[in-house]
Structure 1
Amino acid sequence: MTKAIKKQALGRGLSALLKDPENDIKSVEDKNADKVVGNIIELEIESIEINPFQPRSNFNEETLQELSTSIKELGVIQPITVRKMEYNKYQLISGERRLRASKLAGLTHVPAYIRIANDNDSLVMALVENIQRHDLDPIEIALSYQRLIDEIQLTQEQMSDRVGKKRSTIANYLRLLKLDPVIQTGIRDGFISMGHGRAIINIEDQEAQADIYQKIVSSNLSVRETEALVKNYHEGLNPTEAAKAIEAKPTSFNIADEEKKAFTSFFGAKVDVKVDRKGKGKITIPFSSEEDFNRIIKLIQG
């Protein structure tokens, strides 16, 4: 605790140093650069511009508001990272979610690590830190990897070293970018998982991809069922026939008519019992009025 208080106090002093035009630090060789670079400094939020290299494009408003509430009560626990631009101007490298939440909380200053970096360094730091620290969706991560390839000319092996991920993992993310854009959006919005996407990517025809995607969403297929659907497609079935072959699989267990009749007899109403292929199901008990509903409640409560 003492160490944290000391560092914050130091940050306030360095804030004044940065506002002195005679100490406009632009490189690590400049006077007092060693006092600024790598230290936590309280910066005016208005002096920080958003990083154009930021890979995250979606911010959940509800979780952002929750973070804002936490910041109001506890402050910004983890400083953001910025790079110094011109005099009293900074560009965000990482921590956009914290910066946005701080603005929502009404803060005028935010603790920040100061770095001096060129555009390439800034891009690498932004992408790598976001991939490692934040809950980017799989498509955002894939796009981040692709930018490192396109703009920095990093190989998959070099990216593996930078982000601490296996080369095969990086390759799996990059393959998602070959999916139909509609399916990529489905992954970003959480309608299907990365596992579903990895199964669909084995189909080259994007129209067939889209048809199978619709079957997955409408039938709530698991990743394993999706893999079986894709296998059926490769065996010569069209997407509709492939889906029917999956749907034709028997349920994991059956409920006898006598057991259904026992439910109906107990509740005095025609009870509907359904079980899906995964063994999950539901019991529907109809009622005709409030009195009938209360009668059923009493039966359940014993």
Structure 2
Amino acid sequence: MAKATKKQALGRGLSALLKDPTNDISSVQDKNADKVIGNIVDLDIEAIEINPFQPRTNFNEETLRELASSIKELGVIQPITVRKLDFNKYQLVSGERRFRASKLIGLETIPAYIRIANDQESLEMALVENIQRQDLDPIEIALSYQRLIDEINLTQEQMSERVGKKRSTIANYLRLLKLDPIIQTGMRDGFISMGHGRAIINIEDQNQQLDIYEQIISKKLSVRDTEALVRAFQNGGHAPKASAKRQEEDLPKFIKKGAKEFSEYFGHKINVKVNNKGKGNITIPFHSEEDFNRIIKLVKSAK
């Protein structure tokens, strides 16, 4: 216990050092930089801003509350990492779940490692560290890899070295981004697995991808069943629900456009039927009580 108290006292001492405006530390060459950079310092939570490069976008509320409860009992065991921006101003590099959970229980300070890096270094550190340590969903991981390619100009070979993953593994994640956005949403929400997505991606036409996706959900198909369904389509050359697809193609252009927007908003393929008088109905499918409640929230938020 005495050891922990000493560590906390050290953190508070360094924190006071960082609040001295006459000796502000902004580079590794500054006085006392070696005492701060890379060390654990107790920082004011309000002095830290969220990293805009953070690849994680979904935070499970229940697990966040569980982490908050653990932090309340045990403290922040693993410090967050921040980048110094200005005097008493920092940006989160990694540890956003710990940061959010600490704010949730009203902590005023949080232990942090301090780094000084430019934006590109910060982006790479955030993406690589999150890919390695955070339980990102497959689409978030794929987006992180894509950002490393687009914004850091890394090749797949270089990424393989940075994140410690095989090049083929990285390629499999990147291929998921070719899936229809509705299917990507379904994967992020846990309705299908990465295995399902890898099977569907063998179908290039996104309308046909959606037909297969709906069958996976409605029939609760396993990955193996999905692979068999895809093979059957490829061998026979006929898309599942071909008649429904033809009906969709016959819809007026404005309805097809609106149905697509509905589908992207609700995260499911929305079915629209229209008679020859221009009247029709819209069907919004749901796959569980949780999914139904999610759709209700989306409807309410659109008011």
Smaller-chain TM-score range? 0.7 to 0.9
Q: Distance in 2 between matches of 1:158 and 1:129?
A: 15
* DSSP 3-state at the match of 2:236: coil
1:37-116 matched pairs, under 5 angstroms: 37-116=37-116
Residue 19 of structure 1, CA deviation: 0.2
Residue 227 of structure 2 is aligned to residue 227 of structure 1: yes
Q: Distance in 1 between matches of 2:21 and 2:125?
A: 28
Q: Is the 8 A contact 1:191 1:217 kept in 2?
A: yes
Q: Distance in 1 between matches of 2:86 and 2:239?
A: 57
Q: 1:26 to 1:142 in 2, by over 3 A?
A: same
Q: Is the 8 A contact 2:80 2:94 kept in 1?
A: yes
Aligned identity (percent) is 79
Residue 238 of structure 1, CA deviation: 2.5
Q: Is the 8 A contact 1:94 1:126 kept in 2?
A: yes
Q: Distance in 2 between matches of 1:69 and 1:241?
A: 49
State TM-score, norm by structure 1.
Answer: 0.78
Q: 1:2 to 1:165 in 2, by over 3 A?
A: farther
Q: Distance in 2 between matches of 1:8 and 1:168?
A: 44
Q: Is the 8 A contact 1:37 1:113 kept in 2?
A: yes
State TM-score, norm by structure 2.
Answer: 0.78
**Paired letter, 1:206:** Q
Q: Which residue of 2 aligns with 1:15?
A: 15
Q: Which residue of 1 aligns with 2:176?
A: 176
Residue 2 of structure 1, CA deviation: 5.6
Q: Distance in 1 between matches of 2:159 and 2:126?
A: 14
Residue 5 of structure 1, CA deviation: 3.9
Q: Is the 8 A contact 2:84 2:115 kept in 1?
A: yes
* DSSP 3-state at the match of 2:82: strand
Q: Is the 8 A contact 2:233 2:240 kept in 1?
A: no
Q: Distance in 2 between matches of 1:103 and 1:117?
A: 25
* DSSP 3-state at the match of 2:240: helix
Residue 3 of structure 1, CA deviation: 5.0
Q: Which residue of 1 aligns with 2:257?
A: none
1:1-302 matched pairs, under 5 angstroms: 4-240=4-240
Spell out, residue by residue over 1:61-101, the C-alpha distance to the aligned partner (whole angstroms, 9 max, x if none).
11111111111111111100001011000000001110000
Q: 1:153 to 1:2 in 2, by over 3 A?
A: farther
Spell out, residue by residue over 1:42-67, the C-alpha distance to the aligned partner (whole angstroms, 9 max, x if none).
00000000000000000001111111
| Runs of 4+ deviating beyond 6 Å | none
Instruction: From the CA coordinates, give the structure whose radius of gyration is larger.
Output: 1
Q: Which residue of 2 aligns with 1:270?
A: none
Q: Distance in 2 between matches of 1:6 and 1:132?
A: 31
Residue 10 of structure 1, CA deviation: 1.3
Spell out, residue by residue over 1:139-179, the C-alpha distance to the aligned partner (whole angstroms, 9 max, x if none).
00000000000000001111111111011000000000000
RMSD between aligned residues: 1.3
Question: What 5-or-longer segments of structure 2 have no aligned partner?
Answer: 243-303
* DSSP 3-state at the match of 1:235: helix
Q: Is the 8 A contact 1:45 1:109 kept in 2?
A: yes
**Paired letter, 2:221:** L
Q: Is the 8 A contact 2:55 2:127 kept in 1?
A: yes
Q: Distance in 2 between matches of 1:213 and 1:237?
A: 17
**Paired letter, 1:138:** P
Spell out, residue by residue over 1:255-297, the C-alpha distance to the aligned partner (whole angstroms, 9 max, x if none).
xxxxxxxxxxxxxxxxxxxxxxxxxxxxxxxxxxxxxxxxxxx
Q: Distance in 2 between matches of 1:50 and 1:168?
A: 32
Residue 6 of structure 1, CA deviation: 3.3
Q: Distance in 2 between matches of 1:168 and 1:180?
A: 22
Q: Distance in 2 between matches of 1:98 and 1:113?
A: 13
* DSSP 3-state at the match of 1:92: strand
Q: Distance in 2 between matches of 1:201 and 1:195?
A: 10
Spell out, residue by residue over 1:92-117, the C-alpha distance to the aligned partner (whole angstroms, 9 max, x if none).
00011100000011100000000000
Greater mean deviation of Cα atoms: 147-156 or 4-13: 4-13
Q: Is the 8 A contact 1:8 1:40 kept in 2?
A: no
Question: What 5-or-longer segments of structure 1 have no aligned partner?
Answer: 243-302
* DSSP 3-state at the match of 1:239: coil
Q: Distance in 2 between matches of 1:5 and 1:39?
A: 16
